[in-house]
Structure 1
Amino acid sequence: MSDLRDPAPYDALLLLSFGGPEGPDDVVPFLQNVTRGRGIPAERLKEVGQHYFLFGGVSPINDQNRALLDALRKDFAGHGLDLPVYWGNRNWAPYLTDTLREMTRDGHRRIAVLATSAYASYSGCRQYRENLADALATLAGEGLRPPRVDKLRHYFNHPGFVRPMIEGVLASLAELPEEVRAGAHLAFTTHSIPTASADTSGPAPGHGDGGAYVRQHLDVARLIADAVREETGVAHPWRLVYQSRSGAPHIPWLEPDICDHLRALRADGAPAAVMVPIGFVSDHMEVLYDLDTEATAKAAELGLPVRRSATVGADPRFAAAVRDLLLERAATERGADAERCALGALGASHDRCPADCCPARTPRPAAAGADSPQA
């Protein structure tokens, strides 16, 4: 990691996340925010929200972000990095626009942004950049001078993100009964997205065949599987699979679904499986319900022993990785050379998204990109 300790030109870090309800009365309003513009009736949203109601109407993502905020602040302070850290969400309080307004009034003029999505896709990157552009436009409409924002690069292959997941798989394998452990399959899971969105993820030269979204996940899965083999001496079979599909049935989405995959593993005689949620920074609802509840119940029905490995969450190594990403980008913005930590075959991602990166169906302004106006 970089030895530099100078965050200039940045004077603050913004943790940008999805948000989630924090009580039963929040569920439908939260889902209305998520689905804004689609005209979905409230009664239908109540049905969709049953996953949240099973957990008291509370998504774990906000507490996960509070823990990450605390980890970042402790890491920064422990390494002499005097930089305030703020938090804003797309779909629930603290809302992004409110947080950026607060940061502007606090005098911050150049803000680094860490999104809680490690991979390239429209929903995982460009949509956050569109939300930033909308928020900055709102501030300008209020007569405020918007700050400049720079989104930190994708960190899917940063060692501070990958190593905790490796250890999570090792721990989950150790929890399996000894007689099935060596034959256990690794099911690397991430959020399914429409194939058309996957195919156009990342810069245009790499579009098609799942685009950057699939390539990046495959690279991380391979890194973890190889590390597990090196540390255990066992080459566990593995596959990248998907979960949490929410689209219309006639639209192709990435497959196979985790439950279908577990069914296929059992039919093929697999003795056990470890579900590895590499597509998720923390244990939010898609992990708690789709894996810990639904997929685990399916495995029990099939008689297939399964474990679910841990997400990165607020692991101190991830907090250190964020510091590394911030200082790396700061040095680059100052025109200095900076080590760009990355594992695997794909190397470090770009700093500024190209104009053709993860395009939206309907073009909208997006901040922090090569084609974005700078404040």
Structure 2
Amino acid sequence: MSGAGSSVKGKSAVLLLAHGTPDVLGEMAEYLSKVTGGRALPDEVVKELQHRYALIGLRETPGVEAPPLTKWTMTQAYLLEQALGAGKVYVGMRNWHPYIADVVNEMRRDGVTHIKAVCLAPQNSRTSVGLYRKAVLSTATGIEVEFVAGWAESPLLAEAFAKKLRPVWAEACEETGQRVPVLFTAHSVPCRTIMTGEASVAGARPGTPVQDSPDPYPVEAKRTAQMVAERMAAVGFQEKDWFFAFQSQGVSGGPWIGPTVEDTLKAIKAEGHVGVVMQPVGFLCDHVEILYDIDIAFRESARQLGLKLWRAESLNDSEVLVQALVDVVSGQYKATVDEVMVPA
């Protein structure tokens, strides 16, 4: 499945881009090889990730319902298509079915001549958005591509997160009888990703492209968090009430950016707090980094520190998120957009 609903009207269509996730546990090794660019991971890593995915519901055989990331991404595409009212919204995944290349070819067969590509990763990073861009352009020969490289500062995106955060923060404060801090998170990336061109040359592996500017990702991730915090002010939320950390550092080796969630939880406990509310602002729907990393692993880390952990619901089928996407696609929100390209 690469989209939903009506047929393409005209020659322009929206392509939503996401990470992808395996459908069954037996696909884990192949899936991870896509994530690492073909580099095989040790068996113990594959088995550990199979264990984590099993805990969030992935099975040995296909179930009635798709895995959370697939289910919610397809739902978001359907809701966006309905909100736009015209044209088909396609979904392409970088690391699993439906692959971006297959979906772009489908769009070509459908007569699409202009693609508006939007990453469901609002903060621009070379390890995410940059790879999506490469995947689209490598197969979109002869098709105009308008690629949205970032929409981290969308006011409606911030409001979508704030709407999910308000009730759980109020619940945590009422239950504890004190102000409970919020820990905003985004997915960590390798340190080499955010280095300047000069630093990259010094520490790069042979063949690594030289970057001539810092990666905007950590700044954009924290800016999204700041905007959510600002929208919480109406319910008494203050600057001192929030922290930020990068979660889910990878298993591929080398240093990844921090601070980590684990270290930040220790700092929160050291300040005398009895609980924490977590909200990942770099993710738009439920998947393993939320359902396992936060709901299971970080909850246990917090428990061992004597902290109760709450989590704001993921955006998933949020109406406000869909409107944010409408604004990005329509140009109402001035996202960071690459100029229109026609790959040769």
> What TM-score do you get using the length of structure 2 for normalisation?
0.83
CA displacement 1:4-56 (0-9 Å, x = unmatched): xxx99961111111111122222222222222322335564233332112234
Seen in structure 2, the aligned counterparts of structure 1 residues 326 and 177 have a Cα distance that, compared at 3 Å, is closer
Q: Counterpart amino acid of 1:131? A: A
2:250 to 236, 241, 246: 246
Task: Give matches, 1:1-20, under 5 Å.
Answer: 11-20=12-21
1:260 to 254, 258, 263: 263
Kept in 2, the 8 Å contact 1:119–1:216? The answer is yes
Is 1:157 aligned to residue 153 of structure 2? yes
Seen in structure 2, the aligned counterparts of structure 1 residues 97 and 374 have a Cα distance that, compared at 3 Å, is closer
1:245 and 1:233 map into 2 onto residues whose CA distance is: 29
2:29 and 2:40 map into 1 onto residues whose CA distance is: 13
* Equivalent residue, structure 1, for 2:297: 294
Number of residue-to-residue matches in the alignment: 317
Is there any run of 5+ residues in structure 1 with no aligned partner, and where? 1-6, 141-145, 329-338, 342-347, 354-367
1:131 to 135, 146, 150: 135
1:103 and 1:96 map into 2 onto residues whose CA distance is: 10
1:76 and 1:99 map into 2 onto residues whose CA distance is: 20
* Equivalent residue, structure 2, for 1:63: 71
Cα shift at 1:269: 0.8
CA displacement 1:341-373 (0-9 Å, x = unmatched): 3xxxxxx543117xxxxxxxxxxxxxx6xxx65
1:350 to 326, 336, 341: 336
Kept in 1, the 8 Å contact 2:144–2:342? The answer is no
CA displacement 1:98-122 (0-9 Å, x = unmatched): 1111111111111111111101111
* Equivalent residue, structure 2, for 1:308: 311
Is 1:176 aligned to residue 180 of structure 2? no
2:236 and 2:11 map into 1 onto residues whose CA distance is: 43
Cα shift at 1:267: 2.4
2:156 and 2:311 map into 1 onto residues whose CA distance is: 20
2:89 to 75, 81, 85: 85
What is the alpha-carbon root mean square deviation over aligned residues? 2.6
Percent identity over the alignment?
Answer: 26
1:274 and 1:302 map into 2 onto residues whose CA distance is: 15
CA displacement 1:190-232 (0-9 Å, x = unmatched): 111122212359xx8862xxx4212112222222222222322
> What TM-score do you get using the length of structure 1 for normalisation?
0.77
Seen in structure 2, the aligned counterparts of structure 1 residues 9 and 275 have a Cα distance that, compared at 3 Å, is same
* Equivalent residue, structure 1, for 2:185: 189
**SS of alignment partner, residue 150 of structure 2:** coil
